[in-house]
């Protein structure tokens, strides 16, 4: 994409040309988003579609059924068994859990480690905490893995205080939330503009189409009222001089305040056919049980008489040469069970999803930490692969927040915002054998290869390292003075 030509189209403020620009360069996916969202929500699976799994036609007798001459019949249709399986959601939830159950940490790279550089890092962490990003990270990752794209936008709001007057807030956009996302990249892969199409309810509770465009210099907000697209003259912007109607809106950050996350396929794509086959197999097996789970008596020849309801020692009287037998399967459905077990194993294995269900874990007992790492290695490798995508978004987020602090929130930190680098650290979750871990920490500490502070930091029983260190100092002082609590 030629940057100059693209920005010239946006600067002309012609909605038709702008929409065509972004639509023509919209990202492509290997699976349609509609199909991915459908597969993610188990209630929308094909197994529940009457056209895919059709009702069964049966002929029912009524009236005098003692003979074919007097029996009357009607045709009826009954629902087959429909058993949906939410493997797609399980795969995504497990991936998100292993990747983000331990909150993302910031590793700062200081230039001089001055107080102002540390103040900048503290400001970034405060903004992240105020926006509850440890929780929003999970929503972003979940939407990315299931819908294949989502975006987070950062915008200024007033704090109501004299200093700082402004802070940042974050919103999340995704297709399932009703947003159409249009990133625009140059030939090197840098995002040069971003557009979002969406609807808002306005007067008379009517849906009104909106189209927002973001560049490094401006934000353009278009609206379709009375079937005419134009820049929205009702947009209100908070400025140092008060609230004003401005459109396009100058971008104080000089960076597009949007982080776009995307991947080519949903997380379960490689095993989608297996999940569908397993749903069919289990549903068919349920139908089989419905037919053969209760005894069915088959009679060849004429029935002369039935036993009455409640009679002891019931007898069925048959004519000469007539036969009666209960229908039964010729052989037990072992091949069905084998297929279903194989499909489950393949779904877990090929999606790199550990089976940590109660039935799978109940017989394992206490597991050594080394064995635990080996057991969850596949899940950790999947997290490492996902880090290539998600980590880049986190890095861009930190850069946007730094720029916002230096240019608007606290301009005294502008130089530090450019100098300090913030690197996200994703730590895959691993269940711990606390007893074994504490024993290892103790051995390393007494062996002189681990500091006391590090031992406290990695102790699974300690939640607040600084407080625990103060308590340990107090304990040492009390022992030296002979004072015991």
CA distance 278 to 256: 45
**How close are the terminal C-alpha atoms of the chain, in Å?**
71
Residue 454 CA, distance from chain mean position: 34
CB environment 214-253: b (16+ within 10 A), e (fewer): bbeebbbbbbeeeeebeebeebeeeeeeeeeeebbbeeeb
State residue 485's pLDDT score.
Answer: 45
**Residue found under tokens 């249709």:** 77
CA distance 211 to 310: 75
CA angle 97, 101, 386 (to 5 degrees): 55
CA distance 217 to 192: 10
pTM of the model: 0.82
- From the number of C-beta atoms within 10 Å of its C-beta (0-12, 13-18, 19+), residue 180 rates as middle
Q: What is the CA radius of gyration of the chain?
A: 33
Domain boundaries, the chain: 46-83+269-350, 434-481
CA angle 234, 240, 246 (to 5 degrees): 25
Structural contact between residues 117 and 420, judged by C-beta atoms closer than 8 angstroms: yes
Contacts 24+ apart (CB under 8 A), 222-227: 222/15, 222/18
State residue 275's pLDDT score.
Answer: 97
Tokens coding 397: 């987020």
Q: Consecutive sets of 10 residues in the chain, 485 residues long: mean pLDDT of each?
A: 80 94 94 95 94 83 61 80 94 94 93 93 96 96 97 92 91 96 92 95 87 96 93 82 85 94 95 96 86 67 60 64 68 81 94 79 59 75 89 95 94 94 90 73 85 84 83 70 53
Tokens coding 371: 């064995």
State residue 194's pLDDT score.
Answer: 97
State residue 303's pLDDT score.
Answer: 64
């Amino acid at each position: 994409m030629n940057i100059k030509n693209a920005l010239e189209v946006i600067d002309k403020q012609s909605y038709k040309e702008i929409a065509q620009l972004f639509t023509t360069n919209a990202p492509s996916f290997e699976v349609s988003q509609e199909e991915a969202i459908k597969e993610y929500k188990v209630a929308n699976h094909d197994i529940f579609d009457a056209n895919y799994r059709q009702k069964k036609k049966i002929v029912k007798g009524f009236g005098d059924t003692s003979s074919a001459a007097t029996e009357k019949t009607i045709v009826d249709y009954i629902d087959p068994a429909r058993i949906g399986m939410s493997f797609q959601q399980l795969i995504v939830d497990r991936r998100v859990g292993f990747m983000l159950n331990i909150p993302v940490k910031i590793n700062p790279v200081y230039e001089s480690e001055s107080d102002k550089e540390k103040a900048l890092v503290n400001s970034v962490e405060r903004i992240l905490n105020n926006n509850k990003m440890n929780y929003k990270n999970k929503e972003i990752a979940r939407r990315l893995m299931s819908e294949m794209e989502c975006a987070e936008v950062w915008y200024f709001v007033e704090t109501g205080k004299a200093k700082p007057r402004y802070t940042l807030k974050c919103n999340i956009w995704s297709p399932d939330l009703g947003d159409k996302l249009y990133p625009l990249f140059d030939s090197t892969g840098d995002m040069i503009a971003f557009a979002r199409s969406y609807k808002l309810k306005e007067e008379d509770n009517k849906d009104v189409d909106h189209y927002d465009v973001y560049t490094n210099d401006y934000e353009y907000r278009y609206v379709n009222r009375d079937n005419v697209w134009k820049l929205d003259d009702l947009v209100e912007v908070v400025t140092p001089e008060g609230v004003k109607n401005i459109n396009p809106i100058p971008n104080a950050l000089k960076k597009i305040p949007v982080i776009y996350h995307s991947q080519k396929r949903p997380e379960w794509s490689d095993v989608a056919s297996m999940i569908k086959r397993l749903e069919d197999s289990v549903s068919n097996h349920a139908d089989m049980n419905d037919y053969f789970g209760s005894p069915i008596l088959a009679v060849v020849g004429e029935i002369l008489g039935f036993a009455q309801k409640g009679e002891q020692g019931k007898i069925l009287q048959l004519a000469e040469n007539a036969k009666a037998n209960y229908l039964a399967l010729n052989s037990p459905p072992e091949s069905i069970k084998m297929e279903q077990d194989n499909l489950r194993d393949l779904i877990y294995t090929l999606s790199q999803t550990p089976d940590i269900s109660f039935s799978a874990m109940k017989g394992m007992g206490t597991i050594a930490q080394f064995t635990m790492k080996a057991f969850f290695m596949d899940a950790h490798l999947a997290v490492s692969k996902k880090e290539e995508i998600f980590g880049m978004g986190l890095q861009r987020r930190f850069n946007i927040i730094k720029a916002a602090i230096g240019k608007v929130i606290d301009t005294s930190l502008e130089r530090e915002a450019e100098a300090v680098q913030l690197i996200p650290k994703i730590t895959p979750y691993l269940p711990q054998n606390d007893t074994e871990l504490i024993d290892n920490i103790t051995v390393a500490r007494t062996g002189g290869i681990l500091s006391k502070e590090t031992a406290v930091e990695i102790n699974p029983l300690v939640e607040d390292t600084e407080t625990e260190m103060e308590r340990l100092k107090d304990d040492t002082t009390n022992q030296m003075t002979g004072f015991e609590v």
